């Protein structure tokens, strides 16, 4: 179990450091020019690379909502759920700490929103709570369908990380303007810890919506497939 938890810690660390780091460090400078597409690709690449690197050890969840969804689908033991979530949140928080140290190491640095997730006035596009709730539920549900489908026995072996990474890229392309994209409570928590205030006040949605979406996605997959608990 220690190896599995360390793999989840490292995988979630890489997701937050690579994904949020691309937004905080690279996208913040217009002359670098990675923009929404670059940040979306960065998130997808973090999952793709770590799924190949440590997915064989822990299953490559790197996300509390994914762990919940896999448990509902019968792919993951419910008894290990708490330990996985703790490792993921700790990995995300550690990455946010390192990112904060780097980001504030420049004269006159201002972390701003620090890639935190939000709705209303804290949504990049000014979208409402309802819009944020709907998109996070829907996109997390489809993310679980992608994960469960690409890792099923009937799917081509060895390609799941590519499908999952590209799926996460697409999710970010759709929803960065709405919520700055969560679909991952650990990722949302890590950034909110350093932003404080409004980010912590709105954090509840980025736990409730992704987990609800993950459960819906898992149930949809169980209805589609012939897998059984």
Segment 49-70, tens digit of pLDDT = 999 999 999 999 999 999 999 9
pTM: 0.93
User: What average pLDDT does range 140-159 have in this prediction?
Assistant: 91
User: What average pLDDT does range 148-171 have in this prediction?
Assistant: 92
| Alpha-helical runs (H) found in the chain | 2-21, 35-58, 64-72, 81-103, 129-150, 160-179, 185-195, 197-201, 205-224
Inform me whether the pLDDT recorded for 44 exceeds 70. yes
Inform me whether the pLDDT recorded for 200 exceeds 90. yes
- Match 């995988």 to its residue by tokens: 11
Between 187 and 27, name the one with better pLDDT: 187
pLDDT, residue 161, reads: 94
Inform me whether the pLDDT recorded for 31 exceeds 70. no
Query: Where does the pLDDT of residue 155 fall: very low under 50, low under 70, confident under 90, or very high at 90 and above?
Result: confident
Q: How does pLDDT run across 116-133, given as a tens digit for each residue?
A: 999 999 999 999 999 999
By CB atoms closer than 10 A (0-12, 13-18, 19+), residue 224 is: exposed
What is the overall mean pLDDT for the chain?
93
Determine the straight-line distance between the first and last CA of the chain, rounded to whole angstroms.
22
User: What average pLDDT does range 192-215 have in this prediction?
Assistant: 97
Q: How does pLDDT run across 208-223, given as a tens digit for each residue?
A: 999 999 999 999 999 8
pLDDT, residue 189, reads: 98
61: Cβ contacts below 8 Å, ≥ 6 apart:
8, 11, 67, 70, 76, 84, 88
Other CB atoms within a 10 A radius of the CB of residue 138 amount to: 18
Q: Which 3 state secondary structure label does DSSP give 178? A: helix
pLDDT, residue 229, reads: 47
User: What average pLDDT does range 146-164 have in this prediction?
Assistant: 90
User: What average pLDDT does range 194-211 have in this prediction?
Assistant: 97
**Which CA distances in Å does 31 have to 27, 106, 111?**
9, 17, 18
Inform me whether the pLDDT recorded for 23 exceeds 60. yes
Inform me whether the pLDDT recorded for 156 exceeds 90. no
Half-sphere exposure (Cβ direction) of 11: Cα atoms closer than 13 Å: 32
Domains annotated for the chain, with CATH where assigned, are 2-224 (1.20.1080.10)
Q: How does pLDDT run across 67-86, given as a tens digit for each residue?
A: 999 999 999 988 899 999 99
Give the total residue count for the chain.
Answer: 229
pLDDT, residue 27, reads: 66
């Amino acid at each position: 179990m220690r190896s599995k938890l360390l793999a989840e810690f490292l995988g979630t660390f890489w997701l937050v450091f690579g994904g949020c780091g691309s937004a905080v460090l690279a996208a913040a400078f217009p002359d670098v020019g990675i923009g929404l597409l670059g940040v979306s690709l960065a998130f997808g690449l973090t999952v793709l690379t770590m799924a190949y690197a440590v997915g064989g050890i822990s299953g490559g969840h790197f996300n509390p909502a994914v762990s919940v969804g896999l448990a509902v689908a019968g792919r993951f033991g419910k008894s290990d759920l708490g330990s996985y979530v703790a490792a993921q949140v700790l990995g995300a928080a550690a990455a946010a700490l390192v990112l904060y140290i780097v980001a504030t190491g420049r004269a006159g640095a201002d972390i701003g929103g620090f890639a935190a997730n939000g709705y209303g006035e804290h949504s990049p596009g000014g979208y409402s709570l309802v819009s944020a709730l709907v998109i996070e539920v829907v996109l997390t549900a489809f993310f679980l369908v992608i994960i469960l489908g690409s890792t099923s026995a009937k799917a081509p072996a060895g390609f799941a990380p590519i499908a999952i990474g590209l799926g996460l890229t697409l999710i970010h392309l759709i929803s960065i303007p709405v919520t700055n994209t969560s679909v991952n409570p650990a990722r949302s928590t890590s950034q909110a810890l350093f932003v404080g205030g409004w980010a912590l006040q709105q954090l509840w949605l980025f736990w409730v919506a992704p987990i609800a979406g993950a459960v819906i996605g898992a149930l949809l997959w169980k209805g589609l497939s012939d897998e059984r608990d």
